[in-house]
Amino acid sequence: MPTRPTSALLLVAATLAALPGVPGLPASWGRRAAAQELVLGDDGRLESGRLVAIDDRFVVWRDPSGEIRQMPLASCIAVSVENPLPIVSPDAGVMELADGQVFPGRIGLNNGRLTWRHALVGETPIDIERLRSLQLLAGVKVPVARDADVVVLANGDRVEGVVTSLGTAIEVEPLTGGVAGQKPEPIAIPLERVAALSLVTPQVRLAGAVVWFADGTVIEAESPRLGDDGLVRLRPAFVDAGGAGSLSVPMEQVSGIVFRAEAIQPLADLDPVSVEGPVERFRVPAPRADDRGPASFGVSPIWMSGPIVVRYVLPEPGMRFLARAVLPRKDRGWGDLEIVVRDGARELLRSRLDAQHPAVAIDLPISGTDLTIELLEGRNGPVQDTVLLLRPLLIPNRQA
C-alpha cells in the first residue's frame, strides 16, 4: 500500500527538486520526461508517476499531482516505464537463455571457446546447457526448436539434430542423412556458415529480480536500485569470469524492473486449453502475443479477435488477474463488442467496448484455476471486434 513519505524521503525529494533540468527530477532524466512509470504492488494496485528513488526500504515516486509517494520495497512487485524510447543495439546478434534472459550482442571466440559479447555485461562464455537460441546475422528468423535442435545456415538451409558442441565449428548429430539402418555421422558446420541456431533446452522460470532494457536486453540481477543521480545500479546474477561486475545504467535506458519475477505469471506464457467461436465462424484465430518492443513488467500484450471464447488453466488457484482491455483505435469505426471474464462458471466482469468506451481495466480474483475470456459481438455484428489485452498478468491474490 503506498504511503506518504518519511521526513528523510521528503528531504531527498527536496534535494531533487533543487537540481537543474526537469522540475523535481535530476537533469539526466530530462530525456524520459514524456514517459510514465507504473508501480505494481502485491495487492494488485497500479500507481503512476515518475520514479524518484529505489533503495533497500522503499520505492519512491512523484505522482501526477506532484506529491511524493512511497511503497515498501517488500510490497512492490515491479516498476515499468510506459512507452520507453527504444534503443537499437549496434550489434546484429541476440542470445537468449532458457530462463528468458536476452542479450543483444555478437559472437566471440576465446581459446577456441564460443563467447558472447554484450555492451554492458562484457564477454562471457556461452553455456550450451543454458542456451535457448543464438541469432548471429541480422534479419534472420530464429526457429522454435521443438523435437530437435535447429541450425540455420547463411544460405537458408537448415540442419536438424542434436547440437553437441559450440566453438569454431558447430557440431551436430543430424536426424537424417545416414546409411539406411545406421546412425548418421556427426557433422561440423563452420561458424561462419551459421546464421542462427535454436536448441531444445528445458524452459526455466526466472526468480528474484529481473531488469528489462530499452534495447531488448533482459538480465537477472541482484538488488537493482535507483539512486538520486538517475542511475540504476545492479549486478548481473549469471555473469561468469571475464564479464562485468556491478553495472550503473541511466534510468532512461531501462524499461522495467521486476523485483520478484516468481510473483508474475504472464498470461501470454500460458497456452489456452481451448479456443472456440460460433459455428458460423469458419476460422477462429488463436490469441496472439505481441512481442514487438519492450513490454510492461516483461508481460507481452495479447491480441484477440471476436467472437471467441478462450479458456486457460492457471498454474494454481487463488490468483489475481490484471489487465487493460482496449479496442484499438483503428477498429473503433465499427468495433462494438462485450468482453466477459469468468472464474469457472461464475461471471466476474461484463463490459461493452466501443468508440465511446474503448477501454476497461480488469482486476479480478480467480478462486480456482479455470479462467475464461469471451468476446461477444455487439450492435454492428462481428466487424472489427478486436481486443488488445495490455499487461495481462496473474499475481498471487494477497486479498484472498
Three-state secondary structure readout of 94-131: EEEECCCCEEEEEEEEECCEEEEEECCCEEEECCCCCE
* Residues 169 and 310 reside in one and the same domain: no
**Grid cell listed for 269:** 506464457
Instruction: List residues bridging with 325 in a β-sheet.
Output: 360, 389
Count structural domains, the chain.
3
Question: What Cα–Cα distance (Å) separates residue 23 from each residue in 20, 222, 356?
Answer: 7, 31, 35
Q: Does residue 203 fall inside a structural domain?
A: no
pLDDT of residue 7: 40
Q: What is the reported pLDDT for 242?
A: 44
Per-residue model confidence (pLDDT) at position 3? 57
Helix (H) or strand (E) holding 16: helix 7-17
Whether residue 315 is contained in a domain is answered as: yes
Can you tell me the distance from the alpha carbon of 81 to that of 46, in angstroms, rounded to the nearest whole number? 12
Instruction: Report pLDDT for 70.
Output: 96
3-state secondary structure of 272: coil
Instruction: Provide the domain limits for residue 138.
Output: 93-198
Q: Evaluate whether residue 250 is within a structural domain.
A: yes
- Assigned domain for 282 exists: yes
Domain check: are 247 and 231 in the same one?
yes
Q: Are residues 325 and 313 in the same domain?
A: yes
Q: Spell out the residues 6+ positions from residue 143 whose beta carbon is closer than 8 angstroms to its own.
A: 150, 152, 158, 196, 198
Residue 127 has a pLDDT of 92
Task: Read off the pLDDT of residues 97-115 as tens digits, 9 standing for 90 and up.
Answer: 999 899 999 999 888 789 9
Q: What is the pLDDT along the chain (400 residues), one digit of tens a residue?
A: 555 454 444 444 443 443 333 334 443 334 344 457 889 999 998 999 999 999 999 999 999 999 999 999 999 999 998 765 556 666 679 999 999 899 999 999 888 789 999 988 888 899 999 999 999 998 899 998 989 999 999 999 999 999 999 999 999 998 876 555 677 888 999 999 999 999 999 988 888 899 999 888 999 998 999 998 999 999 888 654 345 578 899 998 898 999 999 999 999 999 999 999 998 888 899 999 987 666 778 789 999 999 999 999 999 999 999 999 999 999 898 889 999 999 999 999 999 999 999 999 999 999 999 999 999 998 888 888 999 999 999 999 876 5
pLDDT digits (tens, 9 = 90+) for 19-45: 333 334 443 334 344 457 889 999 998
291 and 308, same domain (yes or no): yes
Which of 262, 280, 300 is a domain's end point?
262
Give yes or no: residues 355 and 234 share one domain: no
- Give the model's pLDDT for residue 244: 55
The H-or-E segment that residue 9 falls in is: helix 7-17
Query: 326 and 247 in one domain?
Result: no
131-135 vs 149-153, strand pairing mode: unpaired
According to the model, what pLDDT value does residue 241 have?
39
Do 76 and 216 belong to one domain?
Answer: yes
Residues 252 and 274 grouped into a single domain: no
Question: Does residue 270 sit in the same domain as residue 216?
Answer: no
pLDDT of residue 400: 57
Q: Are residues 222 and 271 in the same domain?
A: no
Residue 139 pLDDT:
86
Amino acid in the structure at residue 390 = L
Looking at the fold, whether 18 and 79 belong to one and the same domain comes out as yes
**What pLDDT is recorded for position 302?**
96
Q: pTM of the prediction? A: 0.80
Q: Looking up cell 467496448, which residue turns up? A: 353
Q: Check whether residue 80 and residue 215 sit in a common domain.
A: yes
How many helices and strands, by DSSP H and E, does the chain display? Answer: 1, 31
| C-alpha span between 25 and 227 (Å, rounded) | 12
